[in-house]
């Protein structure tokens, strides 16, 4: 990496951090406008439900199939419930939800805000003495932050059902054993870990999506590039943060 | 919101009569100077036209006036206050006294026409819903689009979008209206309508108007004062008649729209014949 790239990278991190501070400062007044935030929770959360639930179901089913085949070799297919529950709640649900969120909701946020910038809508707000950070950016950021943990929880539940569908209904693991194993393995700590990851990923993905849209170049190509950057940066950051959080929770 | 200053020109002295005052301003982008020693003023209750060829920084000037950018040198005064000394809150307070019409309307695409016009009212006041309704319908009636209240911005033609944007710009009863290229890309009918509206807003409501455009004929028929920008400063100023009668070459070229004159038609390029004959495509 050349020196110029390094300086550029550091500068970008600084710019995003400053943007986050401005955003958080605007989140307090934005909380006084719950309707705007609810609209965004609907936009980013509710509209992502179908894809999240489908993904959760299939991930859970694969988990059931792979887990059963693997565990059967050691004659311990009875622990399928706890294996599926732990991997889903602690890792797969938050990470896959976040990656899908970046692709589904993050890109929509970036291109929407980028186009508002390109068509002077944000400037028009400023001239009307309305801060677009407060009216546009903060509600969308908060909407994403609220929606992500909820999506993670739904993903986890559906995934568990998918694992049960294959493991119990198809492969013949005892139903009672499956659920009691699940119950025994999952405590408050595991749920907290999954939801904390969801919250952190929600902050990261929403921040990047809103930042890229807000700072997008005011052309069609500029908005396209910004959308791409949203997916790439969100995905990498989610995987990196996942490692950091996992390490922190193991302590 | 009330509009205390409309119509009543009980200002004490000459300086207070100038709503926007640009004094000897320099502004450069990336080392390229846009303005060098620019001075002009917009007087209360009048229509001030700012003309100039493309690329003379007309839009940049509007950004200076509305404090979106700051001058490198010199002063920009709005309502007698130096914009450089205002904090964000004061700038927002200043902008509430100003309405601006954007070239493409800049309507909020997720709100319908009614909500677009109601937007500034909802953001800045706590008026009861029936009052907001009446206010918005009045303004829409003024631009002839009361019937279009439930349409979305995507369903409007260019001329209609600009009229809705005009209704939105006047809904808070501003003292000043700024128009950015209001005539661009309009059919003759819409153009005439916009022209008449600008004149009406000025005469009926007493709104000080600043119109930035390069459409000489349309502008000259409504303007009281005109400034012609060229090379980063005011090349000529006066009434439209004075500018039309001007003998200065740059002014003549612009007012008559001829390709030959001090402003070159062609972008600087290497010698034509030499470039055609060069073996570059080998």
Question: What is the three-state SS of B75-95?
Answer: EEEECCEEHHHCCHHHHHHHH
pLDDT of residue B169: 92
> How confident is the prediction along chain B (282 residues), in pLDDT tens digits per residue?
344 443 333 334 455 588 899 999 999 888 888 888 889 999 999 999 998 877 788 888 998 999 988 889 989 999 988 998 999 889 999 999 999 998 888 999 989 999 999 999 999 999 999 999 999 999 999 888 999 999 999 999 888 999 999 999 999 999 999 999 888 888 888 888 888 889 988 998 889 999 998 888 888 888 999 998 888 888 888 888 888 887 777 777 777 777 767 666 677 788 888 888 887 654
- Enumerate the β-bridge partners of residue B179: B101, B211
Q: Are the CB atoms for B42 and B210 separated by under 8 Å?
A: yes
Q: How far apart are CA A147 and CA A170, in angstroms?
A: 33
Separation in Å, CA of A110 to nearest CA in chain B: 15
Q: Is residue A8 part of a domain?
A: no
SS3 content of chain A, % helix, strand, coil (to 5): 90, 0, 10
Q: Is residue A76 part of a domain?
A: yes
Between B282 and A74, where is the model more confident? A74
Q: Are the CB atoms for B273 and B70 separated by under 8 Å?
A: no
Q: Is residue A173 part of a domain?
A: yes
User: What confidence tens digit (pLDDT) does each residue in B87-110 have?
Assistant: 988 999 999 999 999 888 899 998
Locate the chain A residue with the closest alpha carbon to B172.
Answer: A128
Q: Are the CB atoms for A150 and A45 separated by under 8 Å?
A: yes
**Rounded mean pLDDT of A21-41?**
92
A250 interfaces chain B, CB cutoff of 8 Å: no
Q: Which residue segment(s) compose the domain that A190 sits in?
A: 35-250
Which residue, among B98, B65, B99, has the nearest Cα to B84 in the 3D structure? B65
User: What are the backbone dihedrals phi and psi of residue B3, each rounded to the nearest 5 degrees, phi first?
Assistant: -130, 85
Which 3 state secondary structure label does DSSP give A43? helix
Contact yes or no for A124 and B108 at CB 8 A: yes
Q: Is residue A68 part of a domain?
A: yes
Contacts of A13 (CB under 8 A, 6+ apart): none
Q: How many CB pairs under 8 A join A and B?
A: 50
Q: How far apart are CA B202 and CA B218, in angstroms?
A: 16
A116 interfaces chain B, CB cutoff of 8 Å: yes
Concatenated DSSP letters of A74-103: TT-GGGHHHHHHHHIIIIIHHHHHHHHHII
Separation in Å, CA of A203 to nearest CA in chain B: 24
- Rg (Cα) of chain A, in Å, rounded? 21
> pTM surpassing 0.90?
no
**Rounded mean pLDDT of A232-240?**
96
Q: How far apart are CA A235 and CA A95, in angstroms?
A: 9
Closest CB to A127: pick one of B66, B103, B104.
Answer: B66
Q: Is residue A55 part of a domain?
A: yes
Q: How far apart are CA B147 and CA B235, in angstroms?
A: 44
Contact yes or no for B120 and A130 at CB 8 A: yes
Q: How far apart are CA A181 and CA A85, in angstroms?
A: 9
In chain B, which residues touch A (CB < 8 A)?
Answer: 66, 68, 92-93, 95-96, 98, 100, 102-104, 106-109, 119-120, 123-124, 165, 168, 172
Residue A1 pLDDT level (bands cut at 50, 70, 90):
low
B126: which chain A residues are within 8 Å (Cβ-Cβ)? Answer: none
Contact yes or no for B123 and A116 at CB 8 A: no
Structure token digits, residue B99: 């309405």
Structure token digits, residue A134: 């407060």
Name the DSSP letter for residue B245: T
pLDDT of residue B253: 79
Closest CB to A129: pick one of B68, B95, B107.
Answer: B95
Concatenated DSSP letters of A4-38: HHHHHHHHHHHHHHHHHHHHHHHHHHHTT-HHHHH
How many domains is chain A partitioned into structurally? 1
**Rounded mean pLDDT of A100-127?**
94
pLDDT of residue B280: 64
Q: Are the CB atoms for B77 and B83 separated by under 8 Å?
A: yes
Q: How far apart are CA B154 and CA B223, in angstroms?
A: 32
Tracing tokens 């986890």 back to the chain, one arrives at A156
User: What are the backbone dihedrals phi and psi of residue A215, each rounded to the nearest 5 degrees, phi first?
Assistant: -105, 10
Q: Is residue A29 part of a domain?
A: no
Provide the percentage of residues in chain A whose pLDDT is more than 90: 90
Region of poorest pLDDT, from A95-109, A232-246, B195-209, B237-251: B237-251
Indicate whether A199 pLDDT > 50.
yes
Indicate whether A246 pLDDT > 90.
yes
Structure token digits, residue B122: 């909802």
Alpha-helical regions (H) of B13-98 = 58-65, 88-95
Structure token digits, residue A44: 């980013």
Q: Is residue A238 part of a domain?
A: yes
pLDDT of residue B263: 67
Contact yes or no for B106 and A123 at CB 8 A: yes
Q: Is residue A14 part of a domain?
A: no
H or E element that contains A156: helix A138-164
Which residue, among B169, B52, B69, B160, has the nearest Cα to B119 in the 3D structure? B169
Q: Considering chain A, what is the average pLDDT of its residues?
A: 94
Locate the chain B residue with the closest alpha carbon to A135.
Answer: B123
A131: which chain B residues are within 8 Å (Cβ-Cβ)? Answer: 92
Strand order in the sheet with B176-180: B98-101, B176-180, B208-213, B47-51, B225-230, B233-238
User: What are the backbone dihedrals phi and psi of residue B210, each rounded to the nearest 5 degrees, phi first?
Assistant: -120, 120
User: What confidence tens digit (pLDDT) does each residue in A117-172 have?
Assistant: 999 899 999 999 999 999 999 999 999 999 999 999 999 999 999 999 999 999 98
């Amino acid at each position: 990496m050349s020196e110029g790239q390094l300086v550029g990278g550091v500068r970008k991190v600084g710019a995003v951090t400053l943007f986050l501070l401005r955003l958080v400062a605007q989140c307090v007044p934005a909380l006084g406008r719950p309707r705007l935030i609810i609209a965004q929770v609907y936009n980013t959360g509710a509209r992502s439900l179908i894809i999240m639930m489908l993904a959760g179901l299939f991930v859970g089913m694969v988990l059931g199939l792979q887990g059963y085949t693997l565990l059967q070799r050691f004659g311990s297919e009875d622990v399928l419930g706890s294996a599926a529950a732990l991997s889903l709640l602690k890792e797969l649900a938050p990470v896959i939800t976040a990656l899908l969120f970046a692709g589904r909701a993050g890109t929509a946020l970036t291109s929407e805000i980028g186009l508002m910038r390109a068509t002077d809508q944000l400037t028009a707000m400023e001239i009307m003495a309305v801060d677009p950070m407060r009216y546009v950016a903060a509600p969308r950021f908060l909407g994403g932050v609220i929606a992500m943990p909820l999506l993670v929880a739904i993903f986890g539940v559906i995934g568990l059902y998918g694992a049960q569908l294959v493991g119990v209904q198809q492969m013949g693991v005892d139903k009672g054993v499956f659920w009691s194993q699940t119950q025994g393995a999952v405590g408050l700590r595991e749920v907290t870990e999954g939801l904390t990851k969801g919250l952190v990923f929600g902050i990261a993905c929403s921040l990047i999506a809103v930042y890229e849209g807000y700072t997008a170049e005011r052309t069609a190509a500029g908005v396209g590039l910004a959308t791409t950057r949203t997916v790439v940066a969100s995905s990498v950051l989610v995987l990196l943060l996942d490692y950091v959080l996992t390490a922190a929770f193991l302590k | 919101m009330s509009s205390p200053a409309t119509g009543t020109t009980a200002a004490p002295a000459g300086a207070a009569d100038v709503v926007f005052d640009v004094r000897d301003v320099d502004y450069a982008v990336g080392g390229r100077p846009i303005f060098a020693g620019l001075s002009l003023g917009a007087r209360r209750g009048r229509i001030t036209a700012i003309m100039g060829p493309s690329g003379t920084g007309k839009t940049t000037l509007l950004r200076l006036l509305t404090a979106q950018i700051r001058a490198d040198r010199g002063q920009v005064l709005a309502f007698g206050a130096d914009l450089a000394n205002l904090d964000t809150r004061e700038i927002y307070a200043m902008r509430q006294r100003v309405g601006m019409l954007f070239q493409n309307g800049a309507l909020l695409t997720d709100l319908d026409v009614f909500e677009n016009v109601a937007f500034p009212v909802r953001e800045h006041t706590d008026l009861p819903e029936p009052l907001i309704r009446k206010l918005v319908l009045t303004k829409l009636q003024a631009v002839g689009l009361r019937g279009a209240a439930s349409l979305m911005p995507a369903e409007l033609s260019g001329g209609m979008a600009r009229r809705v944007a005009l209704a939105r710009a006047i809904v808070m009863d501003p003292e000043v209206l700024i128009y950015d290229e209001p005539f661009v890309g309009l059919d003759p009918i819409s153009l005439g309508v916009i022209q008449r509206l600008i004149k009406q807003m000025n005469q009926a409501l007493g709104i000080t108007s600043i119109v930035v455009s390069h459409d000489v004929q349309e502008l000259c028929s409504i303007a009281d004062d005109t400034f012609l920008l060229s090379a980063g400063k005011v090349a000529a100023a006066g009434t439209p008649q004075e500018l039309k009668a001007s003998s200065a070459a740059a002014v003549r070229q612009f007012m008559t729209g001829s390709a030959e004159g001090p402003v070159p038609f062609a972008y600087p390029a290497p010698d034509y014949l030499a470039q055609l004959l060069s073996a570059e495509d080998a």
